Amino acid sequence: MRQQPPIGSSVSGTGGWTLFSAWLAVIRALVWRPFWQGGLRSAFVIVGVALGVAITAAINLANHSALATFRDSIDLVAGRTHVQILPTVQTLPDTILTRLGWLRRLGDVNPVIEAICVVPQHHKTLRLIGVDLLHAGLSGSAEQPALRTDRPVLIHAGLAARWHLAVGDTLAAVADDRPVQFVVAGLIPSTGRTSGWDETFAVTDLAVAQDVLHRPGQLDRIDIQLADPDQTDDVVAALQAQLPPNARALTPERRNAQVGRMLRAFQANLAALSYIALLVGAYLIYNTLSVSVVQRRTEIGTLRALGVSGRQVFAAVTLEALMIGVVGSTLGLGLGLILAQGAVAAVSQTVNSLYINTGGAAAVHYDPLTMILSAMIGLLLSLAAAVLPAWEASRTAPAVAMRRGTWATKQQGRTALFAA
């Protein structure tokens, strides 16, 4: 007598393989074959998603890079600054320094003036920073004898290498719409505070900057470095009581936070514009899948009649959208890295012109989290665009699915809603 196989062993294994084979057949019929047969249409949808993800990634990277460059510039120029005195309107008069004599017993008081100059020879902008070179932290890394030249400037070593400048060379620029000749008095090494920051800046003496910029007796801010940082809050409170109405005292952290809030609305507008591109890509997916479901109504009806469940049909249509989203998002990230270069330059120029001067174009900060979020948004919108076509395909009865014009008739009543 032949022994029967145990229940749940070979029988269950055969049944599982049969279900898996059936599921593969469904995928081939409803996903792979239509996707490859779509040809240009499928490629067009993938390009739409890729462009949406690319624009989103580029704008998000530009926002992140512009804000990071602003914070880096504050850290570099402020250095170990604990308190900053800023004007509420335009500039500060340098006579305000006479009121701050008591602060010199607590630390260093450094007046600062800065502006953007143009270097025609290199078609670049240069951030000119005027400080008291005898007390500024950057002067310690420069060659001091050259500081006695007329209109001396200290420039970054990396910038000097790119522009082929050495100590003693002349740097021609346009400041306040007037040509001016600077002399390279020293090089600032790319270490510590200056590493990773935009190198297109030059440091000169305060009196030289005021003369070149035709702003005698004016200051942009005053940096205060305290010997005891624990006195920061007390010093800010004392300054608020003594300063004139056109000046205020802030910590660099608070200034960073205020500028961050100021830029947030601008960055939100850019992000919203990038999401419009993603919505266009999502609409392309929705439209393509809707047409594809109509074209495949006979296949769907046949598969349903053969026992394929509505869930399997729903999963198959959703899988096609996921494929489009994955391919489009992957291509979009690569394109976004390229577009980010131009986007960062444009965003930096707008921030410099309308909000706060960050010293020229920012460098692209390739933030992995920003790129991952951009790709995830593309995937989620792709899946969301497939929900309605997949739901319609899964709910339609086999006899109705094989009847011509049924799905199109249902959509006519929704046209006004979708248009709105």
92-103 confidence digits (pLDDT tens) = 988 888 888 888
Q: What pLDDT, on a 0 to 100 scale, did the predictor assign at position 172? A: 93
In the numeric block, the tokens 């310690």 are attached to 140
Q: What pLDDT, on a 0 to 100 scale, did the predictor assign at position 107? A: 86
Burial of 32 (0-12, 13-18, 19+ CB in 10 A): middle
Task: State how far the alpha carbon of 148 is from the alpha carbons of 59, 91, 182, 243, 417, in Å.
Answer: 46, 28, 12, 34, 75
CB 382 within 8 A of CB 324: yes
In 3-state terms the chain splits into helix, strand, coil percentages (rounded to 5) of 60, 15, 20
Q: What pLDDT, on a 0 to 100 scale, did the predictor assign at position 165? A: 92
Q: What pLDDT, on a 0 to 100 scale, did the predictor assign at position 257? A: 66
Whole-number Å distance between alpha carbons of 117 and 121: 12
In the numeric block, the tokens 């599982």 are attached to 16
Lowest mean pLDDT, pick from 92-101, 121-130, 217-226, 409-418: 409-418
Residue 139 has pLDDT above 50, yes or no: no
Q: What pLDDT, on a 0 to 100 scale, did the predictor assign at position 218? A: 92
CB 30 within 8 A of CB 311: no
Tens digits of per-residue pLDDT, 355-410? 555 555 556 777 788 888 888 888 888 888 888 888 877 777 766 655 555 555 55
49 pLDDT band, cuts 50/70/90, is confident
Whole-number Å distance between alpha carbons of 6 and 292: 45
In the numeric block, the tokens 């470095």 are attached to 225
Name the DSSP letter for residue 188.
Answer: E
Dihedral sign from CA coordinates of 302, 305, 306, 308: positive
Whole-number Å distance between alpha carbons of 211 and 81: 26
CB 325 within 8 A of CB 44: no
Mean pLDDT of 176-185: 90
Half-sphere exposure (Cβ direction) of 272: Cα atoms closer than 13 Å: 6
Whole-number Å distance between alpha carbons of 166 and 354: 34
Residue 117 has pLDDT above 70, yes or no: yes
119 pLDDT band, cuts 50/70/90, is very high
Whole-number Å distance between alpha carbons of 67 and 74: 11
Residue 5 has pLDDT above 70, yes or no: no
Whole-number Å distance between alpha carbons of 102 and 124: 41
Q: Which of 407, 409, 398, 410 is nearest to 310 (CA)?
A: 398
Name the DSSP letter for residue 175.
Answer: E
Residue 332 has pLDDT above 80, yes or no: yes
Q: What is the mean pLDDT of the chain?
A: 75
125 pLDDT band, cuts 50/70/90, is confident
Beta strands in 142-235 (DSSP E): 152-156, 170-175, 178-188, 201-205, 218-219, 221-226
Q: What pLDDT, on a 0 to 100 scale, did the predictor assign at position 179? A: 92
Cα dihedral 86, 88, 94, 96 in deg (nearest 10): -90
Q: Which of 206, 21, 33, 214 is nearest to 109 (CA)?
A: 206
Residue 322 has pLDDT above 90, yes or no: no
Most trustworthy range by pLDDT among 206-210, 286-290, 374-378: 206-210
CB 371 within 8 A of CB 333: yes
Q: What pLDDT, on a 0 to 100 scale, did the predictor assign at position 209? A: 92
Whole-number Å distance between alpha carbons of 9 and 148: 93
- Phi/psi for 165 (5° steps) reads -115, 150
Task: State how far the alpha carbon of 272 is from the alpha carbons of 68, 127, 235, 366, in Å.
Answer: 20, 31, 42, 20
Whole-number Å distance between alpha carbons of 55 and 353: 23
Residue 288 has pLDDT above 50, yes or no: yes
The more confidently predicted of residues 118 and 7 is 118
Residue type, 308: V
